[in-house]
Copies of this chain bind each other. A is one copy, B any other.
Amino acid sequence: MPEPLVRFQPQGRKVSSKKGRTLLDLASEAGLNIESICGGAGRCGKCKVIVRSGIGSVTPANHLEKSTLDSLELASGARLACQATVCGAGHIVVEVPQESQRGHHRRLAAGTERKVALDPAVRKFVLKLPPATLKDLRADDDRLIEFLSRKAKWPVRISEGVHRHLPGALRKQDWTATVTLFRNQEVIRIDPGDTSAELFGVAVDIGTTKVVAYLVDLTSGAALGSESMPNPQIPFGEDVIARITYTSKNQDGLEKLQTAIASGINNLMLKLCEANDLTPDDLLETMVVGNTAMHHIFFGIPPQHLAAAPYAPAVRTSLCVNPSHVRLNMYPSGKVSSLPNIAGFVGADAVADLVASGLYDDRKIGMMIDIGTNTEIIAGSRDRLIACSCASGPAFEGAHIKFGMRAATGAIERVWIDPESHLVRLRTVDDAPPRGICGSGIVDAVAELFKTGLVDPSGRLKSVDGSSRVRKGKKGLPEFVLAKGSESSTGEDITITQHDIQEIQLAKAAIFTGVSILMRRLRLRASQIDRVYAAGAFGTYVDAASAIAIGMYPDVPVDRISFIGNAAGSGARMCLRSTKMRDLADKLSKKVEYIELAAEKDFQSEFAQAMFLPHRDISRFPGAASRVQRSS
């Protein structure tokens, strides 16, 4: 009997069928990219495939598939590739519909980076030591330390893993060797000869949804490349709270989450190495940022207490551990460092944002907003900084939105609706035929629908539309047709549903509640905010005027909004390059005052008011309606 195969159509790729593997796995093995926002958790429904033959060799649809796919789809063989698992030995033919194929992802804008003087924690020095002779019987460690102390004028110690390399490294090239010092205090590596031209580090931003790693040449400070992936913890819980719950409900939950993120980062680092002709042994320091829960889990620290009042983190201060402690595959005596956290829900990523924004050093008032599954906001100036965190959820990443998708080929990223004719103009990623809608497109759409009056301040989509773009969708609720099947790449109408609009209202209300409470603490009106730093991938691509129009950002002139891209990544790279910046980060994390929104007595009423478009108290958005001049 010939080896059973899985064949993917229309690509025609084949891969040998293996019991226990999901179709998503096998597609990846066959070199196909199937879309998956939830990371294989069976929640986003984006990995829909159709089993055309051999359905008997695939597990029956499970409850996740039954709740995501409708009965008609199921009857026609549709399955979630991440759930459908090979269970028999027959051939299987799988069709991958166009909307499930992952296109080219819009490249994440590198964060704005302020220039820092190169002053990394790891540095190399080439030494020519006097050789050991019968007249100079000094031990290798004495010989090295005495030499370094004369040069360095401060005490230097040898890290525990380095002693093993001392005798070999010193003698191999005739007592010429290169030492790597960490913060000028600790020898973390010794190599024979002169290897001073090679010095590499990695900065990692562990987002709840996305993880990005950057390779940095620490001899020049140059960024050599980046790699990203969905956070491999997503299958254990989509958001921070779900993952924390997972660790408390499962005895080995923390262990599993820690292993998942560590091996994910190891993969990214390996890819970065391969692309640059390096090996993991060349990586001497990894600088990690992430929200407090991601930080705790990465370091193996139980995060349960983050989820219950008073939400105190276990660790605020910056950590510095051995790679084996967090199972990272890099130079064994290298260092894994983190930036400090601020509070249970304002983590090292927010500190990195702050470092990248320069807000801490400004005389004028600024506000940094990093939108993600959790949104961190820091406001103030060099005199005073206050921070809070908002549970904004993953809607802006396309989750829970009917045609939501990531910002990849064919994603609608800009929407204009003619106020008279209600004609729709779209812009898509790579100018491809529309396939779905990404975060910036959704915000645009809601802003435009509101401005044209198709959506009222409470978020209700009006059921009458001159151009008949509004129609009844599921459960009789109205939906707005953004792109007709005739123009879309899938042949299907792409719509914005009433439910989608509500998801966006919830998300933006969560954010504005934080904005509003911080402003009140600082006794600020919007007009007094000199600069708003929009951080994060979504923050960079969302149209500022639209964001103000729906009441997500404070109502400032649009030109006061700076897009600083993935600022958490930028801040991490800056701190990887400069010990001064990380010392600054340590100071900032103590200086920033944290406000626990859940403990604010008017949180609920603030939130309820912010659910309106742009806000129940329209006086807080005086300029919004009149000023809107859309960029294009």
- Give chain A's interface residues, CB within 8 Å of chain B: 132-134, 136-143, 145, 160-161, 163-164, 166-168, 171, 299-302, 304-305, 309-317, 319-322, 324-325, 341, 343-344, 594, 596, 599
Residue A164 contacts which of B171, B302, B594 (CB distance < 8 angstroms)? B302
**A156 CB, min distance to chain B CBs, angstroms:** 12
- Distance in Å from the Cβ of A347 to the closest Cβ of chain B? 11
In the complex, chain B residues whose CB is within 8 Å of the CB of A136? 310
27 contacts between A and B (CB under 8 A): A132-B312, A133-B310, A134-B309, A134-B310, A137-B312, A137-B344, A137-B596, A139-B313, A139-B314, A139-B343, A140-B313, A140-B314, A140-B315, A142-B316, A160-B320, A160-B322, A163-B299, A163-B301, A163-B314, A163-B315, A163-B319, A164-B299, A164-B301, A164-B302, A166-B301, A167-B301, A167-B314
State whether A317 and B164 are in contact (beta carbons under 8 Å apart), knowing that A133-B310, A134-B310, A599-B134 are contacts in the complex.
Answer: no
- A311 to B322: give the CA distance in the assembly, Å: 32
A133, closest chain B residue (CB): B310
Report if A138-B299 is in contact (Cβ < 8 Å); known contacts: A163-B319, A324-B324.
no
List residues of chain B with CB within 8 A of the CB of A161: 325
Cα separation A314 to B160 with both chains bound (whole Å): 13
Closest residue of B by beta carbon distance from A598: B134
Q: Is A160 in contact with B315, judged by CB distance below 8 angstroms?
A: no
Q: How many identical chains are in the complex? A: 2
Count chain B CB atoms within 10 A of each CB in A140, A301, A312 and give the residue with the most.
Answer: A312
Give chain B residues whose Cβ lies under 8 Å from the Cβ of A320: 160
Contacts of A344 in B (CB 8 A): 137
CB pair A137 B302 closer than 8 Å: no
Q: Which of B139, B168, B304 contacts A302 (CB 8 A)?
A: B168
The 8 closest A-B pairs by CB, nearest first: A139-B316, A132-B312, A160-B321, A167-B314, A139-B313, A134-B310, A140-B314, A134-B599
Task: Decide: A134 near B596, CB < 8 A? Known: A166-B314, A302-B164.
Answer: yes
CA A301 to CA B309, docked complex, whole Å? 49
**CB neighbours of A133 from chain B (8 A):** 310
Complex CA distance for A136 and B311, rounded to whole angstroms: 11
